[in-house]
Amino acid sequence: MKYIVFLFLLLAISCNPSEKANNPSQNISTEYLDNSNRDDQFMGGIKMVNVNTPKGDFKVWTKRVGNNPTMKVLLLHGGPGMTHEIYECFDGYFPQENIEYYYYDQLGSYYSDQPKDLSLWDLPRFVEEVEQVRIALGLDKDNFYLFGQSWGGILAMEYALKYQDNLKGLVISNMMASIPDYMKYSDEVLAPKLPPDVLAEIMKYENAEDYSNERYMELVVNNYYTRHIIRMEPDKWPDPINRGFKHLNPDVYVTMQGPSEFGVKGDATLKGWDVKDQLPKIKVPTLTIGAQYDTMDPKHMEWISETVKNGRYLHCPNGSHLCQFDDQKVFFEGLVKFVKDVDNDQFNE
């Protein structure tokens, strides 16, 4: 008899509406989890997408999570040459909101083909790659949100300037619209905040272009990264960050960004990139994300939101460049709200 009473108590608790409301997993719809009609079911959402380039055809890695006909987010990682791994924390937030999303390693990154021809690491070619991936994944103006962070933000802006008719929403995270402005902010605002002796030693290696020196990397990681990239001590960095750095492709990174950790220098292909005067052409609903301690000026990020035709700004007061980790709650609350507001036609309310 005691067991029967106990079972009734369990049944009462499981059927309590307030318990369901407090359990995010209960909010995930059956349709969201049903992959029976998807062509990537056999591979658990993974699809290798063929990309045509001036140097031949290659494969890039993508992975879908969830199903939603009106909210599909394609994630553009930074670097260049980083990987999708730094967005694994999206698994903790998007599924319970029934948002479909796609991990994607750009050409040259760890899970995709890695050709050696350096001429492939070219911004216009990457824009065409994203368009080919969009088509392969079946994304369109009724469901396609493009999220780009850091270098991915550059790529997202350039994609929107050419293909915004294919977009439902755009997210520019932690990336200014001008490399020269970013360099100025780094040199005039961030660098002077470092301890003078640390800055002097870093600049010694910078001036000698001795970027591979272990001491240079030690100084940068322990004094700059922990202030402006991810505000945690290196031994506390989340595993996806460590794997992302381990898997970074230096050929892509150095060709486009340059060898320095203090900005875009040398003959890097992104040096001089600037689209500030083109931002008013972007009319699609746009969210810009800035962080108080970022390598990117948060005031500039807010300015972008005011300069595009239909923008909103999200500020992460405790975050840095990777604010999806060091100001996670604020980051995801604002990002989810943007996606849902656009989907519900409430973006301008």
Which positions are catalytic?
A: 150, 294, 321
Half-sphere exposure of 41 (CA within 13 A, CB side): 8
Helix (H) or strand (E) holding 128: helix 123-137
Classify strands 46-53 and 56-65 as parallel, antiparallel or unpaired. Answer: antiparallel
Residue with tokens 């800055």: 199
Within 8 A by CB and 6+ apart from 17, the residues are none
C-beta of residue 185 within 8 angstroms of C-beta of residue 179: no
C-beta of residue 95 within 8 angstroms of C-beta of residue 166: no
238 residue type, one letter: P
Q: Edge-to-edge strands of the sheet including 286-291? A: 46-53, 56-65, 100-105, 72-76, 144-149, 169-173, 286-291, 311-316
Cα–Cα distance, 276 to 259 (Å, whole number) = 25
* Nearest-10 Cα torsion for 194, 239, 217, 78: -80
